[in-house]
């Protein structure tokens, strides 16, 4: 008995310590002030899509994210003292007031800045009753303006169809209204008798101090809002930079602070992240919650995020050092994803989805296409299948590059090889400097150039590394991939085989087969070899000579496929590549409906891979909320595709590991796939874009091709004949082109990016 008692005390103590450790671990999951998950505040509702502060924007915020969202109202006062929700003190940008009251602008000094426009204090609520809201950000769609969304009062927020978790009032201009005999304090105290507000913020110390004693912080928290550090608080005449140094003073009248995100993670002049500041930890030590503002999905913040807004939120809530207590966003669905599904995954999170992630020229969103850096980044980012579009040099060396035209992804146009520019209509329109006119020794020393598919929108990729990396011969590529245990396969892409054989005397098929055999890929192993082409004749030749997996790429946008076409594809391929629009077409960037192409191909036991998934918001339909994760989720969960082809494999691989997969009916609202036609259906008849013709089906004649020509014997001095026609399969040129610019245009563009 004595031994048993002697052992029981240490055991009990051990159990107690274990319990305390578990409780502590649970509390420390979030490095917020209170240990709970950060909250999400929808600025003006879902203002990234619908007019700011409209009833529809507020309702969409709740519908798309669930009941835990807080909605934000920037309060302005009318001439008769009514509080309305409008993002700015000047109504000109967010409403059509100028059409109701033309030539009625007035001028005021707002915090010492002369400002002209339409001010709420010049109009009664009745005067504003016929004023319609508009999307105030010009890069966003205005097609919802025809819905006649009117101005809401603060009282209207409690009458919304969809109920948020709480309401956040922001009082931006108390001093201005006081100068014109309107009391924001009186309004807030009056309306708070009937409406409970979760948060009230202001950039004016005087306003918050004047109401601090009237609110219980357990019900309504007061938050001091910091503006630019050089700006001046009109109530204290101190800059926000100086107020930032006295957080203990802020704590005397506020429970938290709201700061621009640059206060926490500053970026330099070239839009790269600098080290984080100590603001969050300093504020937490002072007992202040920290909320970060200025989060939008459709304005690039830092190249470090690779145009992925979810990555940016994770930087603020799951960086290992601290977490902000909340974020203010125009696109509330994305922070909910970050907080609810992607935070605290760790580096070894288990894949919960079997969809293949296939690279597009490696991680070409971060580094120049098909370079060692792009390939290694793709591997470290979790890609399953690494791709190599094979080109042929003059001396018959197969190598990896996105296009047969070297101009598209190297600086060859600025080199001594610019004299090799020529036009070959069978390959592409316009001139190019083609791989088969240079030896591999010439090509491998070329300077790579990062692809910028959205340069016309002034969206450029990773400028610091725009010319980094080296090109790889196919043999080097296979040496890299062979020992990568994380890879399930390699995709070898073959185009222009007919031209190369007949006009250049180069057999790209034999070169690929030889390189694969030499690397040991012709023997059974853990990695699959996928051979992809838009030419059925190429795949039939590989089928004749090898047993690799064959992938047929449909390079048109199609909505269906004839049964005969499907049967033809099945005779030589096991997988098909289609573009995103073939799966979910759009009208004016609004999704319309699912097509039949994926079900038709999958019913024939063909795997369906879809391209190209990019992070840049301009590559996505409005329905995806400028969020690549929403897009990926919708294609995988909604369209049931088998593989994603992407130039940002990190985004796709992270999706497969998120905690919200496999939850069934418990899946959170914000992880539901979008419904095509949902946003399109909100557009009124007068604002609808013209109807588009249905997508055509793929026909058998577009799949069938003549056999490849034999490899010609070309004398060394011969030059290509630019006039011979070759079978084009899907009725379009068979090239692996991503972009084309003329030599002159590329030269000018490269100068602009220097």
- Please count the other Cβ atoms lying within 10 Å of the Cβ belonging to residue 275: 7
* Each residue's pLDDT tens digit, 284-331: 999 999 999 999 999 999 999 999 999 999 999 999 999 999 999 999
Query: Could you tell me which of 367, 443, 253, 398 has the C-alpha nearest to residue 649?
Result: 367
Does the domain at 39-86+122-342 match CATH 1.10.3470.10? Answer given as: no
Task: Please tell me the predicted confidence (pLDDT) of residue 55.
Answer: 97
Question: Which residues, in sequence order, are CB contacts of 232 under 8 Å at separation 6+?
Answer: 111, 112, 238, 239, 240
Region 356-583+600-611: CATH code: 3.20.20.190
Distance CA 302, CA 290 (A): 21
Rg (CA), the chain: 30
User: Is the pTM higher than 0.75?
Assistant: yes
Amino acid 329: pLDDT: 98
In a 10 Å sphere around its CB, with 0-12 CB exposed, 13-18 middle and 19+ buried, how is residue 252 labelled? exposed
Which pLDDT score, from 0 to 100, does residue 733 have?
Answer: 37
What is the SS3 string spanning 346-397? CCCCCCCCCCEEEEECCECCCCCCCEHHHHHHHHHCCCCEEEEEEEECCCCC
Residue 290: closest CA among 257, 328, 323, 339: 257
366: left (phi over 0), alpha (psi -120 to 50) or beta: alpha
Which parts of the chain sit beneath pLDDT 50?
Answer: 1-27, 717-754
Q: Report pLDDT digits (tens) over 539-563.
A: 999 999 999 999 999 999 999 999 9
Tell me the three state secondary structure of residue 556: coil
Domain regions of the chain by residue span? 39-86+122-342, 356-583+600-611
Q: Which helix (H) or strand (E) holds 238?
A: strand 238-239
Asked if the domains 39-86+122-342 and 356-583+600-611 are classified in one and the same CATH topology, the answer is: yes
pLDDT at res. 716: 63
Q: So what's the pLDDT on residue 9?
A: 44
* Residue 122: alpha-carbon gap to chain centroid: 41
């Amino acid at each position: 008995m004595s031994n048993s008692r002697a052992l029981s005390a240490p055991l009990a103590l051990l159990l107690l310590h274990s319990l305390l450790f578990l409780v502590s671990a649970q509390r420390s999951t979030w490095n917020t002030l209170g240990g709970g998950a950060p909250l999400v505040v929808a600025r003006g509702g879902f203002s990234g899509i619908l007019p700011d502060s409209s009833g529809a924007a507020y309702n969409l915020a709740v519908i798309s994210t669930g009941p835990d969202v807080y909605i934000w109202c920037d309060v302005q006062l009318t001439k008769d003292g009514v509080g309305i929700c409008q993002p700015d003190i000047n109504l000109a940008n967010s409403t059509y007031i100028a059409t109701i009251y033309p030539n009625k602008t007035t001028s005021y000094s707002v915090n010492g800045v002369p400002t002209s426009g339409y001010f709420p204090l010049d109009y009664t609520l009745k005067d504003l009753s016929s004023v319609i809201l508009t999307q105030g950000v010009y890069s966003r769609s205005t097609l919802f303006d025809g819905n006649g969304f009117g101005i809401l009062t603060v009282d209207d927020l409690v009458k919304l169809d969809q109920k948020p978790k709480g309401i956040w009032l922001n009082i931006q201009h108390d001093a201005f209204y006081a100068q014109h005999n309107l009391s924001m304090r009186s309004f807030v105290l009056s309306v708070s008798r009937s409406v409970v507000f979760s948060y009230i913020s202001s950039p004016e110390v005087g306003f918050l101090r004047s109401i601090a004693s009237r609110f219980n912080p357990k019900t309504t928290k007061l938050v001091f809002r910091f503006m630019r550090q050089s700006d001046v608080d009109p109530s204290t005449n101190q800059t926000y930079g100086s107020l930032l140094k006295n957080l203990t003073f802020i704590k005397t009248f506020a429970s938290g602070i709201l700061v621009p995100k640059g206060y926490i993670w500053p970026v330099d002049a070239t839009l790269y992240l600098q080290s984080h500041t100590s603001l969050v930890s300093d504020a937490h030590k002072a007992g202040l919650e920290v909320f970060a503002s200025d989060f939008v999905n459709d304005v690039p913040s830092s190249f470090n995020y690779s145009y992925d807004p979810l990555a940016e939120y994770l930087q603020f809530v799951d960086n290992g050092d601290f977490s902000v207590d909340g974020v203010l966003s125009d696109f509330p669905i994305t922070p909910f994803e970050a907080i609810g599904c992607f935070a605290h995954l760790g580096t070894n999170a288990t894949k919960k989805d079997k969809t293949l992630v296939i690279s597009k020229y490696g991680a070409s969103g971060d580094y120049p296409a098909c370079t060692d850096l792009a390939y290694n980044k793709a591997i470290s980012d979790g890609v399953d299948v690494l791709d190599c579009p094979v080109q042929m040099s003059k001396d018959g060396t197969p190598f990896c590059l996105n296009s047969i035209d070297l101009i598209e992804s190297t600086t060859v146009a600025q080199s001594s090889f610019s004299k090799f520019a020529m036009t070959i209509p069978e390959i592409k329109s316009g001139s190019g400097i083609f791989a088969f006119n240079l030896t591999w020794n010439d090509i491998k020393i070329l300077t790579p150039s990062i692809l910028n598919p959205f340069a016309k929108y002034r969206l450029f990729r990773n400028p610091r590394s725009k010319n980094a990396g080296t090109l790889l011969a196919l043999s080097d590529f296979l040496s890299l991939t062979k020992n990568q245990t994380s890879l399930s396969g390699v995709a070898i892409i073959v185009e222009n085989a007919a031209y190369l054989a007949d006009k250049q005397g180069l057999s790209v098929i034999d070169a690929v087969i030889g390189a694969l055999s030499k690397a040991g890929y012709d023997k059974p192993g853990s990695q699959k070899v996928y051979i992809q082409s838009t030419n059925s004749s190429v795949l039939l030749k590989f089928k004749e000579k090898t047993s690799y997996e064959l992938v047929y790429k449909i390079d048109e946008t199609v909505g269906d496929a004839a049964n005969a076409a499907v049967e033809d594809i099945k005779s030589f391929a096991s997988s098909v590549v289609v573009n995103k629009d073939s799966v979910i077409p759009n009208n004016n960037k609004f999704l319309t409906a699912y097509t039949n192409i994926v079900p038709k191909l999958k019913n024939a036991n063909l795997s369906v891979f879809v391209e190209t998934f990019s992070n840049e918001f301009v590559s996505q339909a409005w329905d995806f909320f400028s969020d690549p994760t929403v897009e990926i989720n919708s294609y995988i969960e909604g369209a049931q595709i088998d593989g994603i082809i992407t130039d940002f494999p990190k985004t796709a691989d992270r999706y497969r590991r998120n905690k919200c997969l496999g939850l069934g009916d418990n899946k959170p609202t914000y992880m539901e796939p979008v419904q095509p036609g949902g946003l399109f259906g909100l557009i009124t008849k007068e604002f609808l874009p013209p109807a588009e013709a249905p997508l055509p089906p793929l026909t058998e004649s577009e799949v069938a091709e003549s056999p490849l020509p034999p490899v010609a014997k070309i004398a060394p001095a011969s030059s290509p004949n630019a006039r011979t026609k070759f079978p084009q399969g899907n009725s379009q040129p068979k090239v692996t082109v991503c972009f084309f610019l003329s030599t002159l245009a590329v030269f000018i563009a490269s100068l602009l990016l220097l």
